[in-house]
Amino acid sequence: MTKKRLSIFASGSGSNAEKFFEYFQNHPQIEIASVFTNNKSAGVIERAQRFNIKHHVYNRSFWQTGETIVEVLESEKIDFIVLAGFMLLIPKALVARFPNRIFNIHPALLPKFGGQGMYGMNVHKAVKAAGETETGLTIHYVNEYYDEGAIIFQESCTINPTDSAEEIAAKVLRLEHKNYPKVVEQEVLKSI
Ligand code: GAR
């Protein structure tokens, strides 16, 4: 049986991406085929090189229409896309070509603290400023709007009043690393 092929899109450090590289390294049914980034200085590039995974860097204009990217994904026979800290809106052409086949992780309990501009530390600072007593992560399918596709999985954690935004971020990132590859695995296996 041919393995399902996943591509990871990331704009930053890539710690979630690395969890995927590790988790699927010797997986019988799923493999990480490539990484796409919009940021030539992204930490994810070094992580991909360390795991011998091909990467592509495309500048903002390529991400606006998405046509070139669809062609590359098709040439690599990609079945699913995983957004792991990817900061640009996914072009309509890509959503249309991969319906319910693009996953995103968001570092809060959507629909709270989502939408344009809500990424990374911005989210945790907003959660802290709002005086929330819990936060968490959300894994969802991607549609044409930021953070609005159908939710697949959420897990929460407690916020102590003394927690800084950085401490909140660290708690949520631990939850992300623990859950994201497993949840994607379950969803991909349903398609087989
Ligand atoms: C993660 O916390 C992810 O949830 C967040 O960016 C971080 C990337 O970290 N994504 C968003 O905010 C998307 N709106 P990483 O590069 O270390 O995986």
Tokens of 188: 């991909």
Q: What average pLDDT does this structure show over 9-28?
A: 98
Q: Please give the positions annotated as active site.
A: 106
Does position 147 have pLDDT exceeding 90, yes or no?
Answer: no
State the pLDDT at residue 145.
84
Q: Where are the domains of the chain?
A: 4-189
Ligand 1 centre to CA of 176 (Å) is: 9
Take atom 12 of ligand 1 and give the residue whose Cα is closest. Answer: 119
Residue 144 has pLDDT above 90, yes or no: no
Indicate if ligand 1 lies below 6 Å from the C-beta of 85.
Answer: yes
89: CB partners within 8 A, 6+ apart:
116, 144, 146
Residues near 182 by beta carbon (within 8 Å), at least 6 away in sequence: 23
Rounded percentage of the chain residues whose pLDDT exceeds 70: 100
Each residue of 148-175: pLDDT tens digit?
899 999 999 999 999 999 999 999 999 9
In single-letter form, the type of residue at position 156 comes to S
CA pair distance 111, 116, nearest whole angstrom:
12
Ligand 1 and 12: CB distance under 6 A: yes
* Most distant CA pair in the chain, distance: 52
Tell me which CATH code domain 4-189 carries.
Answer: 3.40.50.170
What's the whole-number average pLDDT of the chain?
Answer: 96
pLDDT at 146 over 90: no
The strand pair at 30-37 and 54-57 is best described as parallel
User: Mean of the pLDDT values across residues 6-20?
Assistant: 98
Neighbours of 106 (CB within 10 A): 26
Distance 167 CA to ligand 1 centre (A): 15
pLDDT reading at 1 higher than 90: no
Name the pTM for this structure: 0.97
Nearest C-alpha to atom 10 of ligand 1 is from which residue?
Answer: 85
Predicted confidence (pLDDT) per residue in 110-141, tens digit: 999 999 899 999 999 999 999 999 999 999 99
pLDDT score of 190 more than 90: yes
Choosing from 172, 175, 176 the residue with most ligand 1 atoms within 8 A of its CB, the one to mutate for a pocket test is: 176
Q: Report the residue among 55, 105, 123 best suited for mutation to probe ligand 1: largest number of ligand atoms under 8 A from its CB.
A: 105
Task: State percent of the chain over pLDDT 90.
Answer: 92
